[in-house]
Amino acid sequence: MCTSIAWENGAFYFGRNLDLETAFGQQVVITPRKHLFCFRREKPMEQHYAMIGMATVMEDCPLYAEAVNEKGLCIAGLNFPENAYYPTEEAAGKAHIAPFELPWWLLGQCATVKEARALLDRTEIVGIPFSESIPVSPLHWHIADRSTSIVVECMRDGMHIHENPVGVLTNNPPFDFHLYNLSQYMNLTALRPENRFADEVELRPFGRGMGAFGLPGDASPASRFVRAAFLTLNSECEEEEEASVAQFFHLLDSVAMTKGSVVAPGGEWEHTLYSCCVNADEGVYYYKTYGNNQLTTVHMHNANLDGEALGVFPLEMKQHILHQN
């Protein structure tokens, strides 16, 4: 399970929690403009936009969980089991891209969501695994730039591209349910609530925050969607980098998963392996891990973006503590 957020606060920020029971060899990876991307069905991409994100590197391929390119276009893949469907028969007249190739395909060629939508119209996402030992991941995707946010879902009745007015995505059910479900919470407010119970009874709030009474607090995808949407859309923060980044991680913390709260099917504890926030304007990738609350940054533009070799940065996993005496 995961949660992604797109948020504009002077600069444009994009990030996510990745919730899983086990690590997957994740590292921060910078892909420069001349790194060769080899596709299973399409011609290799020798020249493309540079990108940065969290990935597993296998056979010199960065398998991105989320990434942003040098133009500020962002993508995150989130778990979408039972609903995700990728055809194995390839339609004529379209490019055929495996799910693990989609971040390269879009971020390598597109500078905006508008360009990504046009490319998706000419693309079919097909059920090709990375290898025999790595099956196809059932995903849907949150794609965003400074002005637009969309969700891409491939289901049995085809590819659906949804406008995303709240800039948030979680997991099942499909995205149109999540938007419809928000109607159940339209009474929530950050303001002091008014008495609408009855004119005959004098009622007053006995504490702050009661305007949002009923905001769901469990870890289910539907509840995380409502909680992340409410907090993001009501967020107030200074338009300054450190304040914005701190605020973004507070938003992610509100939907993070702690060990012991959710048992995965295999009996292990599902938890937030890492949280990340990218300043998409500057290409600065911030992250923290479950075991290390201190923020670590990797700067895309400090790398040689005209090179070919991947820049790989192992995660800081051990807790960093400032001892003041």
State yes or no: pLDDT of 209 exceeds 90.
no
- Structure tokens given for 107: 């971020």
State yes or no: pLDDT of 1 exceeds 80.
no
Q: Give 252-279 as a DSSP string.
A: HHTT---TTS-B-TTSPBPEEEEEEEEE
State yes or no: pLDDT of 84 exceeds 80.
yes
Active-site residue set: 2
**pLDDT classification of 170: cutoffs 50, 70, 90:** very high
Helix H or strand E segment including 54: strand 51-58
Fill in the amino acid letter for 55.
A
Fill in the amino acid letter for 38.
C
Average pLDDT rounded to a whole number, residues 10-34: 96
The label of the residue with tokens 């989130």 reads 78
Contacting residues for 279 by C-beta, under 8 A, at least 6 apart: 11, 12, 13, 241, 245, 286
Average pLDDT rounded to a whole number, residues 57-86: 97
For the chain, give every domain's residue range.
2-172+245-313
Rounded-to-integer distance, Cα 41 and Cα 31, Å: 21
CATH topology of domain 2-172+245-313: Penicillin V Acylase; Chain A (3.60.60)
**pLDDT classification of 266: cutoffs 50, 70, 90:** confident
Average pLDDT rounded to a whole number, residues 32-45: 96
State yes or no: pLDDT of 197 exceeds 90.
no
For the ranges 81-95, 163-177, 268-282, 311-325, the lowest mean pLDDT is seen at 81-95
More confident residue, 322 or 171: 171
Measured at the CA of 136, the angle between CA 224 and CA 68, to 5 degrees, comes to 60
